[in-house]
């Protein structure tokens, strides 16, 4: 039901052409589109009703992310409404409530500034937040800050002595400079430089030296939603490919009559189904038993990464030459699948998590 209504809206307002047009216009964010999504309640999908959200849970967020993935919708949904909202929900103070309300209404966007090197590794965060007086000074550089080019606020992970601390600060605070990254998937990302940026105790989300009690649930929510988006990317690419197999003729036959292609397409569908189970399970676990959802989330992200990769590689190959052209949409799917594979932990990162939790 949610899927169908989302599909209807997105097919009209945000087909793949919408991303293409934004790219061609040099844009990475469409505030008008996000406003409409917020009006439908999507921005507040995880936010309690008392703060203006619709509070439908992670499984529902996954359904929306999947539908967005099918047409490569660029929006702050994951950064703001899933990751930041989940982090803020771990903190029950008036400021967090106000922030949640601002996310739900769509008027405030967030970006998560974690990565410092080319691979996701939150525990390895080095950027220091040096104690000074009653507060902190942040100095260093973050990269691959998704939606960091336009976000109103940043969640910044920094090292404070022996521990890690999560800061919630405005993106235009003195000492912050943002440099847009020209990403292969045409989505927003920025390199963010912190030059002696001031932060007070008020800016700390959760407790000092204990970022993970706030961040871990947020990351897992984001990873599950990203996995769902990637399953949508796979489904979008696969739908195009199966359609093409039924219409393209070579050697006097529909190419879908060739068993070599039939069996590869069938294998891809099977993998898509298996991945869908992992994604649904992750959403259910986050809703029912979030403390113990790590395995389910890593399973979903690992599977979704691999399935999306297979779908776009087969998508280009089975379309032949046209699949390689910029004028055709398949390339957009391939590039989003690659970026999504890296964000919030790649296959290896999540496979390691599964192995660790399974005792090897």
Footprint of another protein on 255-274 (CB under 8 A): 256-257, 259, 262-263, 265-267, 269-271, 273-274
- Percentages helix, strand, coil for the chain (3-state, rounded to 5) are 55, 15, 25
Q: Which of 254, 331, 342, 346 binds another protein (CB under 8 A)?
A: 254
Q: What is the DSSP string of 200-254?
A: -GGGBSSBTTBTHHHHHHHHHHHHHHHHHHHHHHHHHHHHHHHHHHTT-EETTEE
CB 70 within 8 A of CB 233: yes
- Of the pair 54, 354, the CB lying nearest another protein is at 354
By CB under 8 A, residue 310 contacts another protein: no
Q: Which is nearer to another protein, 216 or 350 (CB)?
A: 350
Identify which of residues 123 and 291 has a Cβ nearer to another protein in the complex: 291
* Region from 104-112, 134-142, 211-219, 254-262 binding another protein, contact rule CB under 8 A: 254-262
Closest CA to 45 of 13, 85, 8: 85
- Dist. CA 11–CA 17, nearest whole Å: 10
The nearest distance, CB 256 to another protein, in angstroms, is: 4
Residues in the chain: 360
**Binding residues among 213-252 for another protein as defined by CB under 8 A:** 242, 245-246
Closer residue to another protein (CB): 211 or 300:
300
CB 325 → another protein: shortest distance, Å? 24
Residue owning tokens 């359904």: 63
Neighbouring CB atoms inside 10 A of 26's CB total 9
Residue numbers at the binding site for another protein (CB under 8 A): 242, 245-246, 254, 256-257, 259, 262-263, 265-267, 269-271, 273-278, 280-281, 284-285, 288-289, 295, 299, 302-303, 351-352, 354-355, 358-360
């Amino acid at each position: 039901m949610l899927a169908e209504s989302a599909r209807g809206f997105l097919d009209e307002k945000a087909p793949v052409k919408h991303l293409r047009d934004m790219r061609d216009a040099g844009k990475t964010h469409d505030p008008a589109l996000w406003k409409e999504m917020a009006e439908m309640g999507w921005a507040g999908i995880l936010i309690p009703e008392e703060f203006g959200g619709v509070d439908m849970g992670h499984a529902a967020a996954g359904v929306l992310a999947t539908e967005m993935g099918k047409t490569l919708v660029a929006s702050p949904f994951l950064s703001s409404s899933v990751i930041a909202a989940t982090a803020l929900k771990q903190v029950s103070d008036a400021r967090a409530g106000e922030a949640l309300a601002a996310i739900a209404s769509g008027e405030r966007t967030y970006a998560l500034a974690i990565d410092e090197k080319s691979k996701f590794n939150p525990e390895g965060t080095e950027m220091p937040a040096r104690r000074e007086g009653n507060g902190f000074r942040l100095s260093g550089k973050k990269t691959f800050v998704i939606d960091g080019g336009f976000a109103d606020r940043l969640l910044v992970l920094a090292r404070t002595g022996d521990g890690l601390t999560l800061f919630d600060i405005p993106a235009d605070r003195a000492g912050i400079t943002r440099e847009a990254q020209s990403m292969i998937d045409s989505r927003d990302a920025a390199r963010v430089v912190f030059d002696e940026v001031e932060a007070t105790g008020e800016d700390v989300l959760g407790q000092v030296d204990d970022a993970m009690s706030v961040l871990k649930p947020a990351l897992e929510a984001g990873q599950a939603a990203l996995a769902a988006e990637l399953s949508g990317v796979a489904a979008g690419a696969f739908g195009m490919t199966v359609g093409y197999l039924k219409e393209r003729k070579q050697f006097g036959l529909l190419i879908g009559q060739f068993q070599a292609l039939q069996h590869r397409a069938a294998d891809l569908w099977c993998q898509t189904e298996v991945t869908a189970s992992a994604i649904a399970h992750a959403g259910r676990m986050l809703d029912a038993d979030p403390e113990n959802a790590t395995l389910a989330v890593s399973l979903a992200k690992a599977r979704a990464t691999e399935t999306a990769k297979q779908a776009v590689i087969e998508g280009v190959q089975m379309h032949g030459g046209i699949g390689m052209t910029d004028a055709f949409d398949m390339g957009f799917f391939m590039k989003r699948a690659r970026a999504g594979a890296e964000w919030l932990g790649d296959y290896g990162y999540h496979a390691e998590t599964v192995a660790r939790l399974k005792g090897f």
